[in-house]
Amino acid sequence: MKNYDELIEELFNRFPAFQQVGAGAYKPGLENAEALDAYFGHPHRRFRTIHVGGTNGKGSTSHTLAAILQKSGYKVGLYTSPHLADFRERIRVNGEMIPREAVESFLKAHSDEAFNFRPSFFELTTFMAFTYFAEQQVDVAVIEVGLGGRLDTTNVITPDISIITNISLDHVAMLGHDCPSIAREKAGIIKEGIPAVIGEAEGDVKEVFKQQAQQVGAPIFFAQDNNIITTAQATNGGWQYESRVAGSIWGELGGLCQEKNAATILTAVEQLRLLNYNISDEAVKEGFAQVTTLTGLRGRWQRLSEHPLVVCDTGHNVGGIQYIVEQLENTPCNTLRIVLGMVNDKDISGVISLLPRKAQYYFTQASVARALSADEVASIAANHGLKGESYASVTEAYNAAKRDASEGDLIFIGGSTFVVADLLKDWKE
């Protein structure tokens, strides 16, 4: 019989993962999802759900909501993607990863021979999560959309609330080449009669959401119009929020984008309370303050070391990088050193054009098939006036930056979720 490691390797090999191969793993359409749903007996109907989509901020929003619900006394499932170091990060109950034995049991019981089609990695993983949550008798599960929304496997659920954080250009080959087109795909999770909370939306994108909500008869709430919070950067890192939902809140996640995410989360909390979720002000405060401990979230403006300051962030598209660059520019340091790698389906020139020219760069590549080679990244960067050396692995690039750094420097590692994943897998400090 195969062991856990062999089964996981087989899962990645037999059912291609978008994480590894990109667009080749994307299966648009819900036919497979609906067939799997019937095969597994509609497991998601055995618990309440909250659906979270959008381009950036899905992970932070999902994890923080899960943390708030945990502190409210609910047994909470959390399904997110991709993972950083361990496949099991994708499926958690009250912050605890799915046990290896549960993964092993599922994969042994439900091999591809059981189906009359070949499910994708994400399709099978989604139903692993749903069946596990049902077995664990969770009260509610926070379900993050994998890609897009309308045709995403997770869209078989009927949630209590649908959340869309924002829209930015990402996965354009599959979702559309402009923001309104991408918004139409993301808006596909807005369902009849179910409250929809939208984080950031302007102009044509906002109209797309309004039209979808009107078409299906869903109440819609725009967090940015809600005047729900005022914010200030906290002296101990993170953010200090003053909200009408729970008063004074300290949020431990320190990225600039978290200000927008917080407004989305708090608007969602308001709507959940109207749906008779018992969420106290204290639970909101504790969820924001303890999200990484409660849920295992990593890689969001994560400070790994202080002297020199070492920070990593999974932001990887124009919408995410613009916040990171602003924060880098506002963080005092002697020399800014950036370890940078990217994958091949992003707006690479768009991202690189935003990066600071004064930094010293260490170009690298993550250990996934989609990674651009370090030399390709360096070549594109050179066209934008960025200078640095190339390194074959993230660890080599980071070690070089560390050797060059003085105590007052800032080392930033990012450009791709998979660059951060490689760093954290090997992190020793």
377 shares a domain with 272? no
Q: Are residues 104 and 145 in the same domain?
A: yes
Task: Calculate the alpha carbon distances from 74 to 71, 283, 335, 341 in Å.
Answer: 7, 11, 46, 39
Q: Once rounded to an integer, what is the mean pLDDT over residues 260-283?
A: 97
DSSP labels, 230-293 = EEEE-TTSSEEEEETTTEEEEE---STTHHHHHHHHHHHHHHHHHTT----HHHHHHHHHTHHH
Rounded Cα–Cα distance for residues 168 and 423 (Å):
26
Same-domain status, 251 and 316: no
pLDDT at 14: 63
Average pLDDT over residues 319-327: 90
**pLDDT, position 225:** 87
- pLDDT tops 90 at residue 398: yes
Question: In this model, does residue 307 exceed pLDDT 60?
Answer: yes
pLDDT tens string 247-269: 999 999 988 889 899 999 999 99
pLDDT at 28: 60
What pTM was estimated for this model as a whole?
A: 0.92
CATH of the domain at 160: 3.40.1190.10
Query: Of the residues 240, 269, 295, which one is the last residue of a structural domain?
Result: 295
Residue 116: pLDDT over 90:
no
CA distance 415 to 420: 8
Q: What's residue 172's pLDDT?
A: 45
The verdict on 215 and 240 lying in the same domain is yes
The residue type of 321 is: I
Q: Do residue 107 and residue 37 come from a single domain?
A: yes
Structural domain total, the chain: 2
* 3-class SS string, 394-420: HHHHHHHHHHHCCCCCEEEEECCHHHH
Final residue before a domain boundary, out of 243, 269, 295: 295
| CATH number of the domain encompassing residue 319 | 3.90.190.20
Residues 330 and 269 grouped into a single domain: no
Residues 335-363, mean pLDDT to the nearest whole number = 92
Domain end (from 265, 295, 325): 295
> What pairs with residue 171 in β-bridges?
none
State whether 288 and 334 are in the same domain.
no
Q: How confident is the model at residue 235 (pLDDT cuts 50, 70, 90)?
A: low
Residue of 237 and 329 predicted with greater confidence: 329
pLDDT tens string 341-350: 998 876 788 8
Which tokens go with 408? 């007052």
262 and 330: one domain?
Answer: no
pLDDT digits (tens, 9 = 90+) for 36-61: 999 999 999 999 999 999 988 999 99
pLDDT value of residue 344 = 82
Spatial strand order in the sheet of 302-306? 302-306, 309-312, 410-414, 336-340, 360-363, 388-390
Predicted local distance difference test score (pLDDT) of residue 44 = 98
What's the pLDDT at 15?
A: 58
Verify that 177 and 149 share a domain, yes or no: yes
Compute the Cα dihedral for 320, 321, 325, 326 and give only its sign.
negative
- Asked whether the beta carbons of 368 and 420 are under 8 A apart, the reply is no
Provide the domain limits for residue 206: 4-295
pLDDT band at 388 (very low <50, low <70, confident <90, very high): very high
Within this chain, do residues 277 and 335 fall inside the same structural domain, yes or no?
no
Specify whether 307 is located in the same domain as 275. no
Contact (CB, 8 A) for 351 and 177: no
184 and 85 housed in the same domain? yes
